[in-house]
């Protein structure tokens, strides 16, 4: 990809190797997380773009619809949507295609829902949900292009850093 602008980023890899000790957070009134079973490509792309544009999510934009469908419709992938009073507010995409590990592949909130404690709730939901399947580990990666509080939020949820690497991103 000669001539395309590349951005250097620090990628931090985190993992959780044992289930959380506390009880899951209770959902506030009007808030629920539901799995989108075989979401339409349009709905998925809407969530991906609405959540990720500010944080330079671009990898799935490079894929055509058939490639995206092959991922999100795979039985090992869960697209979980946070709903607030009937409005989609967040995404927790879980990838268990490489058992016994589970990856938090994509996680975030739509801009209008940031700063309301919903990210903490959604991450807590995802952590407890994943550990019901008894994985060996639950892992995630974040980078310095993500929300500035992302790393701290993952650590507060119980994830521990196991690696850091510099990478080059080539957004379109």
User: What digits encode the pLDDT tens for the residues 10-62?
Assistant: 999 999 999 999 999 999 899 999 999 999 999 999 999 999 989 889 899 99
**What confidence score (pLDDT) does residue 121 get?**
96
Contact assessment for residue 80 and residue 94, using Cβ atoms and an 8 Å cutoff: yes
- pLDDT > 90? residue 7: no
- pLDDT > 90? residue 148: no
- pLDDT > 90? residue 125: yes
Contacts of 167 (CB under 8 A, 6+ apart): 8, 9, 10, 11, 143
Is pTM, for the whole model, over 0.85? Answer: yes
In a domain, 2, yes or no: no
In a domain, 12, yes or no: yes
Banded pLDDT at 141 (limits 50, 70, 90): very high
Residue 101 domain boundaries: 7-169
Distance CA 91, CA 109 (A): 6
Distance CA 6, CA 129 (A): 36
In degrees and rounded to multiples of 5, residue 103 shows phi and psi of -105, 135
Q: How many domains does the chain have?
A: 1
DSSP state of 64: -
CATH number for the domain harbouring residue 30: 3.40.630.30
User: For residue 131, which of 6, 17, 14 has the smallest C-alpha distance?
Assistant: 17
CA distances from 172 to 7, 8, 57 (A): 11, 15, 10
In a domain, 102, yes or no: yes
CA distances from 31 to 26, 28, 123 (A): 10, 6, 14
Q: Helices (DSSP H) in the chain: which residue ranges?
A: 41-52, 65-72, 118-131, 150-156
In a domain, 1, yes or no: no
**What confidence score (pLDDT) does residue 1 get?**
43
């Amino acid at each position: 990809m000669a001539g395309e602008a590349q951005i250097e980023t620090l990628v931090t890899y985190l993992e959780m190797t044992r289930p959380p000790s506390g009880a899951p957070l209770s959902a506030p009134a009007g808030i629920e997380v539901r799995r989108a079973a075989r979401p339409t490509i349009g709905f998925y792309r809407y969530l991906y773009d609405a959540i990720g544009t500010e944080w330079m999510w671009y990898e799935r934009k490079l894929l055509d619809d058939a490639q995206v469908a092959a991922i999100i419709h795979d039985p090992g992938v869960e697209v979980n949507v946070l709903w607030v009073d009937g409005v989609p507010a967040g995404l927790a995409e879980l990838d268990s295609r490489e058992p016994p590990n589970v990856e938090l592949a994509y996680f975030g909130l739509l801009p209008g829902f940031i700063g309301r404690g919903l990210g903490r709730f959604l991450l807590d939901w995802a952590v407890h949900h994943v550990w019901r399947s008894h994985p060996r580990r639950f892992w995630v990666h974040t980078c310095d292009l993500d929300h500035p509080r992302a790393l701290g939020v993952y650590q507060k949820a119980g994830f521990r850093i196991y690696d850091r690497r510099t990478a080059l991103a080539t957004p379109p």
